[in-house]
Amino acid sequence: MLLMKGFGSVTDITWHYTDARQLLPLIKSKALKPTMGRSHRGERPVVWFTRADTYEPMAYPAWLDENGIRRVMASEQEIARRANGLLRIGVAADDPCLRPLREWTNSRRPEHQNLAEEMLNAAKELGSNPIANWQVSFKPVTQKRWLHLQIAFPEDVGDEGVQAWNEWDLRAQYTKDLLKMGSPICAEGISCECCEPDDRPFPRSNPLQPSLDSLIHK
């Protein structure tokens, strides 16, 4: 059974999934920005969301190994181990800033329609349900719209995926402590099929601090 530590009232939530190294940059930027997303030249980038309660397979990060070969993470457990945890932001599924997937597909240029279809077919092969679950935002999703900011530490992620999500309190002292830890870490070193494409090497540890766990569980 999936647990959500500190999880409050239940509502219909849609999630943006990433990894724990994005925590400080997102807290500082106070928004999920479409500029983080992958888009073809001349087309509007989007922020991706899914109603699925499990980490979106198409959002699994990629990295370059020592031979320069692009690899995709194989599991939530691997992502958590390499990035010191998983992160997700939840907003109301009926938030007016969110648009159905069809608006994204319909906005593609004719020469890019085949690529969009290939992406959706790849997602289905990985077990996703894009038509039912995916939503997008063409505009920044600001912090005031976030209903949940949750982190799963490596110890919360097992062979079968995330066992528990921890609610991150933006007003807590540990958030203030995190903000004092130094300059924000640029998101450009991360590759994600849905949000942060880049083929530079994937860092082997979270550069923010040895353990976010020690902060949130003080």
pLDDT score for 1: 41
d(CA 4, CA 72): 27
In this predicted structure, what is the pLDDT of residue 52? 94
Q: How many domains does the chain have?
A: 1
CB-based contact 147:89 (threshold 8 Å): no
According to the model, what pLDDT value does residue 138 have?
A: 93
Residues 108-157 have pLDDT tens digits of 777 777 878 888 888 898 888 999 999 999 999 999 999 999 999 999 99
> Phi/psi of residue 205, each to 5°?
-145, 160
134-144 burial, b at 16+ Cβ within 10 Å, e below that, comes to bbbbbbbbeee
Average pLDDT over residues 87-115: 89
- The residue segments making up the domain with residue 73 are 3-216
